[in-house]
């Protein structure tokens, strides 16, 4: 996955479910991370990636850093868009940036850093198919 340009955003839509909200009806902050993972996983899949196959081969991408800036709350039953793109890729790390939007209104921004490790937790080189994915419809 080469670092993105402004045109390289991938997007999914998620409806905020009641169980994901706090007592005020706002999307609970912990559930933002779940939405980011959904977007990141679907982005990888759209590029021909397969997390299950990667893990079965003994490689794992683990989140080593998560930063989120909450700007405005998402509420129960809102339809939100989660946008993701690759910000940086190195030999063993993959950085994504995200936006959570309701319509054109930005609700949050985030950044994750993932490291590639083996089953013993030892850092490994990023697999070639992560570095150079194919489009899912190739």
Cα–Cα distances (Å) from 35 to 47, 64, 94, 119, in that order, read: 19, 17, 18, 25
51: left (phi over 0), alpha (psi -120 to 50) or beta: alpha
Q: Does the structure show a pLDDT above 70 at 5?
A: no
Residue 74's CB is within 10 A of a number of other CB atoms, namely 26
Give domain limits for the chain.
Answer: 10-131
CA 107, CA 86: separation in Å to the nearest integer?
A: 20
Tell me the three state secondary structure of residue 7: coil
Q: Which of 23-27, 36-40, 117-121, 134-138 has the lowest mean pLDDT?
A: 134-138
Model pTM score:
0.87
What tens digit of pLDDT does each residue of 9-21 get?
Answer: 999 999 999 999 9
Span 56-104, pLDDT tens digits? 999 999 999 999 999 999 999 999 999 999 999 999 999 999 999 999 9
| One-character DSSP codes across 101-115 | EETTEEEEEEEEEEE
Task: Kindly report the length of the chain.
Answer: 138
CATH superfamily of domain region 10-131? Hotdog Thioesterase (3.10.129.10)
What tens digit of pLDDT does each residue of 122-132 get? 999 998 777 76
Give CA–CA dist 82/7, Å, rounded.
Answer: 15
């Amino acid at each position: 996955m080469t670092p993105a340009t402004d045109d390289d955003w991938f997007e999914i839509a998620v409806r905020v479910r009641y169980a994901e909200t706090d007592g005020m009806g706002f999307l609970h902050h912990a559930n933002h991370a779940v939405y980011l993972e959904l977007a990141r996983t679907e982005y990888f899949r759209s590029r021909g990636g397969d997390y299950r196959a990667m893990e079965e081969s003994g490689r794992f991408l683990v989140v080593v850093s998560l930063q989120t800036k909450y700007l405005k709350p998402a509420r129960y039953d809102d339809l939100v868009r989660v946008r993701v793109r690759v910000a940086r890729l190195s030999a063993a790390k993959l950085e994504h940036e995200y936006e959570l939007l309701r319509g054109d209104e930005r609700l949050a921004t985030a950044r994750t850093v993932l490291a590639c490790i083996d089953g013993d937790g030892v850092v490994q080189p990023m697999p070639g198919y992560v570095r150079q994915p194919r489009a899912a419809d190739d």
